[in-house]
């Protein structure tokens, strides 16, 4: 056999081998899902047909139309999930968010914070569009919304399609639906506040990537209302590429035997304002959003469009198992132009006694932020004031400088908390659901922030590491103050 023929033959064999390996992984993953994933419930199967799609949200689509469809979505969930589930409620229903009498029911709150909400001062000084994260709801933006409203801002906290209802809705939602919804919100606020008032974008997690993509689009397209400032909280700039394999495995879910393959996690839904179960499609779409925004950042940096972005303030925990802290630094901040931007990073608690158990690559991130000499943006590390104290300081390095200055915060780490988490940043200590000290006047509901599970393993109905995850931010007052100052700056 000639050399070209030999190479061609082995190339074909290698290609077939790769196909066989991929097929084995996909089918094996599907079989594993069938065997290990718990039985699916109505909220894993019912997808409300009224949920909006990108094709319906054109330039003339209004927030009033958006809210009317949202009302219909929630009616469909009530009729097809909540009412029948509540009627058949039995053991374990006291912490099921879809049972009306449950302490996890969102109906116990003064309003259902799973829905889009708007705060409208009589004479707004500006507008702020708030966008929540993946599997989340507008509730996660409530405390920030209240802080901005107190400063006279017209606030719109948007429920993006697929969220706040049933986790099955995320088996159908796609990134384009979320992008279109953000545009609806920005257009509405610009019309509401007028052309001469500032428009801020505040995004948490997946919402951070969405508002950043919007800002990049607006920088290149003058037809889109341009923001005057951006705040990112745990922004989803980078996620695991394993979502690609999850997409392939979830494709098997079209076949009844492999129905469970659509799900990466099936967990009891005890959380009133966030899904616990996680469909593979949600991971796929978040990967599309994060990889898309990375590409747009790189293109904008090459073309110079990135210089048109307004000032960006970002908050990120140094340890984060949902998004990549390194991507926030390398793929966003190191590519920004000018000195108007600031990255605030929350360190681990150096007095927790857990430092020897922190993974080396996470512990090294603090050092990597300080490496490489001066940077064009401001860097702030929220950390212990010293090796022997829980008191916190904001240690800031100015753009172009290397020396740091400390600002005492009057806030401290709780001794039992060794770090923040991806889900902790937007919640204060007095949050009724996720805070460690909810107000005494709060309606009786599930208080997840007060749980401190210490006991035997393998006896709880949910993974203990989920309940142990930090759910509130001891430095929230500092973060809230910085957000208000950033958004209201002239």
What is the per-residue pLDDT across 240-264, written as a single tens digit (0 to 9) for each? 665 555 555 556 555 554 578 889 8
Note the pLDDT of residue 24.
47
Cα separation, 358 vs 366, in Å, equals: 12
The pLDDT assigned to 321 comes to 87
Residue 241: exposed, middle, or buried by beta-carbon count in 10 A (0-12, 13-18, 19+)?
exposed
Please state which of the ranges 270-279, 317-326, 424-433 shows the lowest mean pLDDT: 317-326
Task: Please give the pLDDT value at position 30.
Answer: 45
CA gyration radius, the chain: 23
pLDDT digits (tens, 9 = 90+) for 372-416: 789 999 999 999 999 999 999 999 999 999 999 999 999 999 998
Listed in order, strand segments (DSSP E) in 177-240 are 199-204, 229-233
Q: Report pLDDT for 244.
A: 56
CA distance 206 to 295: 16
Q: Which of 23-32, 346-355, 357-366 is the most confident on average?
A: 346-355
What value does the mean pLDDT take over residues 451-466?
77
Q: How many other β-carbons are positioned within 10 Å of the β-carbon of residue 30?
A: 23
- C-alpha 118/C-alpha 110 separation (Å) is 15
CA distance 351 to 429: 20
How confident is residue 11, by pLDDT bands cut at 50, 70 and 90? low
Over the chain, what is the mean pLDDT?
88
Greater model confidence, 363 or 97: 97
pLDDT at 23: 47
For the segment 273-282, the average pLDDT, to the nearest whole number, is: 94
State what percent of residues in the chain have pLDDT above 90.
Answer: 70
Q: What are phi and psi of 235, to 5 degrees?
A: -65, 140
d(CA 261, CA 280): 8
The predicted pLDDT at position 204 comes to: 98
The answer on pLDDT for 343 being more than 80 is: yes
> Is residue 31 very low, low, confident or very high in pLDDT (cuts 50, 70, 90)?
very low
Q: Is the separation of the CB atoms in 305 and 219 below 8 Å?
A: yes
DSSP class of residue 449 equals G
Assign 5 a pLDDT band (cuts: 50, 70, 90): low
Residue range 111-124: mean pLDDT, rounded = 95
- Whether the pLDDT of residue 25 is over 70: the answer is no
Which phi-psi region, left, alpha or beta, contains residue 474 (left: φ > 0; alpha: ψ -120 to 50)? alpha
Q: Does domain 38-420+476-488 have CATH number 3.40.50.1820?
A: yes
Half-sphere exposure in the Cβ direction for 348 (13 Å, CA): 20
Which of 33-42, 46-55, 244-253 ranks highest by mean pLDDT? 46-55
pLDDT, tens digit, 9 for 90 and up, residues 64-112: 999 999 999 999 999 999 999 998 876 557 889 999 999 999 988 888 9
Contact 218, 230 (CB under 8 A): no
State the Cα–Cα distance between residues 136 and 423, nearest whole angstrom.
10
Helix, strand, or coil (residue 79):
helix
Which tops the pLDDT comparison, 324 or 73?
73
Tens-digit pLDDT profile for residues 193-240: 999 999 999 999 999 999 999 999 999 999 999 999 999 999 999 876
Q: Which pLDDT score, from 0 to 100, does residue 22 have?
A: 46
Checking if the pLDDT of 21 tops 50, the result is no
DSSP 8-state class, residue 40? P
pLDDT for residue 465 is more than 70: yes
pLDDT over 90 at 10, yes or no? no
> What is the predicted pLDDT for the residue at 446?
85
At 490, is the pLDDT very low, low, confident or very high (cuts 50, 70, 90)? confident
């Amino acid at each position: 056999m000639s050399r070209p023929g030999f190479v061609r033959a082995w190339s074909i064999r290698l290609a077939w081998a790769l196909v066989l390996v991929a097929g084995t992984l996909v089918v094996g993953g599907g079989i594993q899902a069938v065997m290990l994933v718990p039985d699916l419930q109505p909220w894993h199967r019912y997808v409300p047909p009224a949920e909006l799609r990108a094709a319906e949200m054109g330039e003339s689509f209004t927030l009033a139309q958006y809210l009317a469809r949202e009302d219909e979505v929630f009616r469909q969930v009530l009729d097809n999930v909540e009412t029948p589930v509540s009627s058949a409620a039995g053991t374990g229903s006291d912490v099921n968010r879809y049972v009306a009498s449950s302490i996890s029911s969102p109906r116990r709150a003064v309003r259902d914070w799973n829905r889009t909400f708007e705060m409208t001062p009589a004479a707004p000084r500006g507008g702020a569009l708030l966008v929540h994260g993946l599997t989340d709801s507008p509730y996660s933006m409530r405390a920030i919304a209240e802080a901005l409203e107190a400063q006279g801002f017209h606030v719109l906290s948007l429920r993006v399609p697929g969220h706040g209802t049933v986790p099955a809705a995320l088996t159908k939602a796609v990134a384009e639906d979320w992008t279109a919804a953000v545009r609806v919100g920005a257009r509405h606020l610009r019309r509401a506040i007028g052309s001469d008032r500032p428009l801020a974008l505040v995004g948490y997690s997946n919402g951070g990537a969405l508002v950043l993509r919007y800002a990049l689009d607006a920088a290149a397209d003058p037809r889109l209302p341009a923001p005057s400032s951006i705040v990112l909280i745990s922004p989803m700039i980078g996620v695991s590429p394993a979502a690609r394999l999850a997409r392939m495995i979830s494709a098997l879910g079209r076949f009844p035997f492999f129905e469970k393959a659509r799900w990466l996690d099936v967990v009891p839904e005890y959380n009133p304002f966030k899904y616990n179960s996680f469909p593979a499609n949600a991971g796929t779409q978040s990967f599309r959003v994060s990889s898309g925004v990375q590409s747009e950042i790189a293109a904008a940096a090459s073309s110079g469009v990135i210089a048109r972005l307004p000032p960006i303030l970002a908050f990120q925990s140094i340890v984060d198992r949902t998004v990549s802290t390194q991507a926030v630094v390398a793929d966003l901040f190191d590519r920004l132009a000018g000195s108007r931007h600031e990255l605030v990073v929350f360190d681990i608690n150096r007095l927790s006694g857990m430092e020897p158990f922190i993974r080396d690559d996470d512990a090294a991130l603090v050092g990597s932020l300080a490496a490489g000499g001066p940077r064009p943006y401001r860097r702030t590390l929220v950390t212990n004031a010293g090796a022997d104290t829980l008191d916190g300081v904001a240690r800031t390095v100015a753009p172009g400088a290397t020396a740091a200055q400390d600002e005492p915060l009057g806030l401290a780490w709780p001794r039992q908390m060794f770090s923040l988490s991806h889900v902790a940043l937007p919640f204060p200590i007095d949050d009724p659901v996720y805070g460690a000290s909810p107000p005494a006047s709060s309606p009786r509901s599930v208080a997840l922030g007060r749980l401190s599970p210490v006991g035997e393993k393998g006896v709880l109905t949910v993974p203990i590491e989920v309940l142990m995850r930090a759910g509130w931010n001891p430095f929230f007052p500092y973060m809230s103050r910085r957000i208000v100052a950033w958004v209201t700056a002239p």
